[in-house]
Amino acid sequence: MSSVQIRDVRKSFGNFEVLHGVTVPIEDGEFVVLVGPSGCGKSTLLRMLAGLENITSGTISIGDRVVNNVQPKERDIAMVFQNYALYPHMTVADNMGFSLKLRGASQDEIGKRVKRAAEILALAPLLERYPRQLSGGQRQRVAMGRAIVRDPQVFLFDEPLSNLDAKLRVAMRTEIKELHQRLKTTTVYVTHDQIEAMTMADKIVVMHDGIVEQMGSPLELYDKPANQFVAGFIGSPAMNFLKGKVRSNGVASFEGPNGVKLPLKTAPTASDGQPAVYGIRPEHFTIADDGAEAEIIVVEPTGSETQVFAKLGGEQVVAVFRERHQFNPGDKIRLKPDPSLVHLFDDATGKRLNA
């Protein structure tokens, strides 16, 4: 196990820079998730960590060794690929033992370590099968087994669950997290799915267009998103954003679209009339008499909660209620944001304004 330091790393393909100076400290044994939309550079960063891509500038170190010019096989890392990259012509056992075989380990040693990994992952009955004869979830586990067998310093996962169906994805999510709790190996995990990031990570790194937008624990990111991008990316359904102006004369409040008045706990550093974006998560609305009037468009019950799409000041917002209200499209309701859970962002820069 090892810490990993990514310092001011840049990557260019030709003249096109895709990573603009990324710094991520990763502690020994930490589970770090790199999350962001497609093309944000998260997979490229992971591949640079693995040694599959060159580092244009900056340094990456594993433990206290800078690995910029170290061959992938010398880095002592193991990677799980999105398509698993299982060798189709080898049995599960051979797939898992391949790296040991290349290192010249004895048959006994290989057999023992493969068996141990197979037990951890419940793969023991499948050892003689070929990848084609396995289900998606089993293949996924073999790919992890191949990584575990090597007992590396760092595990790298490149969107490992995106080829699985929704139910299996949830199950494997738990399995990977459990595995990490058991092995305590430093793990870097790339995904575009913020739910995966929230549920698995010790630390989330939100990336966007080649920069780190915010880094922190899942709940930090949820409670205090540093900017509008992170606010919109973390959480499902996504946070509602309403453009308008801060009003700080007398009681702090927010003037939303079409003059809708929305509550604010305190007027932040912003002065009266400053244009800003009012962010409120769907789950932080309540129905209250002093709420803003909204007209229901669509009601989507999921059983555990009900999602309500409504027009508030002409803008569409989503609210989520755990209580079972009787709503019908066209109904007028009064939505009240919880003032202590409101996020305020600068209209121009998207930076967070309130503390």
Partner 1 sequence: MADIAVAPRAKPQFREASAWDQLKHNRNWLGLWFMLPAMAFLIFFLAYPLGLGIWLSFTDTRIGRVGHFVATENYEWLWDDSIFWLSVFNTLLYTFLASAIKFAIGLYLALLLNENMPFKAMLRAMVLIPFIVPTVLSALAFWWIFDSQFSIISWSLKHLGLISQNINFLGDATWARICVIFANIWRGVPFVAITLLAGLQTVSPSLYEAATLDGATSWQNFRYITYPLLTPIIAVVMTFSVLFTFTDFQLIWAMTRGGPVNATHLMATLSYQRAIIAGQLGEGAAISSAMIPFLLAAIMISWFGLQRRKWQQGESND
Give the footprint of partner 1 on this chain (CB under 8 A). Answer: 50-52, 72-73, 77-79, 81-83, 85-90, 98-99, 102-103, 130-133, 139, 146, 150
Report in angstroms how near the CB of residue 129 gets to partner 1 at its nearest. 9
Burial grade of 225 (CB within 10 A; 0-12, 13-18, 19 or more): buried
d(CA 93, CA 74): 23
User: Are residues 277 and 351 in contact, defined by beta-carbon separation less than 8 angstroms?
Assistant: no
| Residue appearing with tokens 């990324």 | 22
CB of 289 to partner 1, least distance (A): 57
CB of 128 to partner 1, least distance (A): 10
Task: Please identify, using beta-carbon distances, which residue of 133 and 271 lies nearer to partner 1.
Answer: 133
Q: Which residue's CB is nearer to partner 1, number 4 or number 270?
A: 4
Torsion of CA 57, 59, 60, 62, to 10 degrees: 160
Tokens (6 digits) for 319: 């609210």
* Residue 2 or 228 with smaller CB distance to partner 1: 2
Least distance in angstroms from the C-beta of 19 to partner 1: 19
Supply the minimum distance, in Å, between the C-beta of residue 237 and partner 1. 32
3-class DSSP state for residue 72?
Answer: helix
Residue whose CB is less far from partner 1, 131 or 225: 131
Angle at the Cα of 250 from the Cα atoms of 247 and 255, rounded to 5 degrees: 20
Least spacing, CB of residue 203 vs partner 1, in Å: 24
Residue number, 136 or 291, with CB nearest to partner 1: 136
C-beta of 113 vs 146, nearer to partner 1: 146
For residues 13 and 87, which CB has a smaller minimum distance to partner 1 in the complex? 87
Closest approach of partner 1 to the CB of residue 110, in Å: 13
Distance of CA 306 to the CA centre of its chain: 24
Q: How far is the CB of 236 from partner 1 (least distance, A)?
A: 29
Beta carbons of 75 and 62 less than 8 angstroms apart: yes
Asked whether the beta carbons of 124 and 118 are under 8 A apart, the reply is: yes
State how beta strands 203-208 and 31-35 pair.
parallel
- Say which residues have a Cβ less than 8 Å from residue 261's Cβ, sequence separation at least 6: 253, 254, 255, 292
Q: Least distance in Å: CB of 57 to partner 1?
A: 23
Q: How many CA atoms lie less than 13 Å away from 351 in the CB half-sphere?
A: 6
Question: Which CB sits closer to partner 1, 73 or 351?
Answer: 73
- Residue with smaller CB distance to partner 1, 91 or 307: 91
Query: CB neighbours of 230 closer than 8 A, spacing ≥ 6?
Result: 206, 213, 214, 221
* C-alpha neighbours within 13 Å on the C-beta side of residue 110: 18
Instruction: Say if CB 317 and CB 310 are below 8 A apart.
Output: yes
